[in-house]
Amino acid sequence: MTLSDAFKGAAASAFAPATIGNMVVGFDVLGGTLAHVGDVVKVALSPAQSETVNQVIIKSIEGTDGAKLPLEAANNTAGKAILSFLEGESLHADVTVEIQKGIPLGSGLGGAAASAVAAVVALNELLKDPLPEDTLLLYALDGEAVASGARHADNVAPALYGGLVGVFSVDPISIGRIPLPPGLSVAVIKPDVGIKTEEARALLAESVPTNLVIKQQARLAAFILGCAEGDYDLIAEHFIDEWIEPQRKSLIPHFDEVQASASGPGVLGASISGAGPAIFALCENEQTAARAGKRMQEVYEAHGVASQVWVCEIPHQGAHILDS
């Protein structure tokens, strides 16, 4: 379809938030949303110069670590997501893309997913008949896979939908929002190192002992029930990862010490965000999270390691259009 047939507008910008993948007990199936940090993608349409090929041009990538990211659309998570969107919907247009990165590269905070999600949400805003979120998710997954090497939705889904999200299936797509106790908050700290998701995944053992699978399944069920019922004791008792964390923590400087420092009244647990190196503490409220974040940062300061801290209540809003 041509521009005039399919599109109602020429340009739009969208924000997509940073996310916490895995949430300790849900490797590749749970993800939570952060507030105040994320990526912005602007898309602008023009008539296709080719009768058969859509051109997606990454005009600029600015902000945090922007200079380290590829400008070739097929190798960029936002660009690839747009290419998949256009092809999948049989749309014929050229697209110019501007990316403003707010999420550090290789942080474990879903930066690849955020760019992909913001791109498809912005492009969708320009359609006369916008696509449902589940369809956008599939195109964003195509983009995110460029960086991660796999189609897993525990960052893409919370970036798109907001809140705490369960990924029940990717093919066919099945996503559900998990109820959040009021005020549930996180403190996230990222030491000044980077980890590539595909490298972190390569560390994982190909097989998992049956008894460990059973324990982690029980913990996942307890966590979801605890969230639904607002039972902080149940969450804290089972917010433990004996599967992924032990295999990846060696990549993160001073992990054990930082994790231990997060403990305190109202802190439900702490572990790796996504592939790391970010570490997060799940807390009953934002004030408790601020104290946990301060304690974790003090550990890194004592070791002379620079770090960034974000503290927020887990927001219900995911990606959204920005006013022009």
Give residue-wise pLDDT tens across range 145-188. 998 888 889 999 999 999 999 999 998 999 999 999 999 999 99
pLDDT(324) > 70: no
* Residues 173, 199 within the same domain: no
Read off the pLDDT of each residue in 230-245 and give the average, rounded to a whole number: 97
pLDDT(10) > 80: yes
* Residues 84, 222 within the same domain: no
The 3-state DSSP composition of the chain as helix, strand, coil percent (nearest 5) reads 40, 25, 35
- Domain finish residue from 179, 200, 215: 179
* Residues 145, 250 within the same domain: no
C-alpha distances out from residue 147 to 104, 175, 254, Å: 14, 22, 26
> Residue 323: inside a domain, yes or no?
no
Band of the pLDDT at 4, cuts 50, 70, 90? low
> According to the model, what pLDDT value does residue 49 have?
85
Distance CA 218, CA 241 (A): 11
- Domain finish residue from 117, 146, 179: 179
Helix (H) or strand (E) holding 224: helix 210-229
pTM for this entry: 0.95
Q: In terms of residue numbers, what domain contains 229?
A: 185-313
- Domain finish residue from 164, 179, 194: 179
Distance CA 23, CA 280 (A): 9
pLDDT(78) > 80: yes
Distance CA 206, CA 30 (A): 20
pLDDT(203) > 70: yes
* Sign of the four-CA dihedral 142, 147, 151, 153: negative
In degrees and rounded to multiples of 5, residue 167 shows phi and psi of: -100, 100
CATH code of the domain in which 59 resides: 3.30.230.10
* Counted domains in the chain: 2
Residues 6+ apart with CB under 8 A from 153: 28, 31, 137, 141, 167, 170, 173, 175
Name the DSSP class of 68. G
Higher model confidence: residue 48 or residue 167?
Answer: 167
* Residues 91, 23 within the same domain: yes
Q: Which residues of 121-131 are buried (b: 16+ CB within 10 A; e: fewer)?
A: bbbbbbbeeeb
User: How do strand 185-191 and strand 267-272 relate by DSSP bridges?
Assistant: unpaired
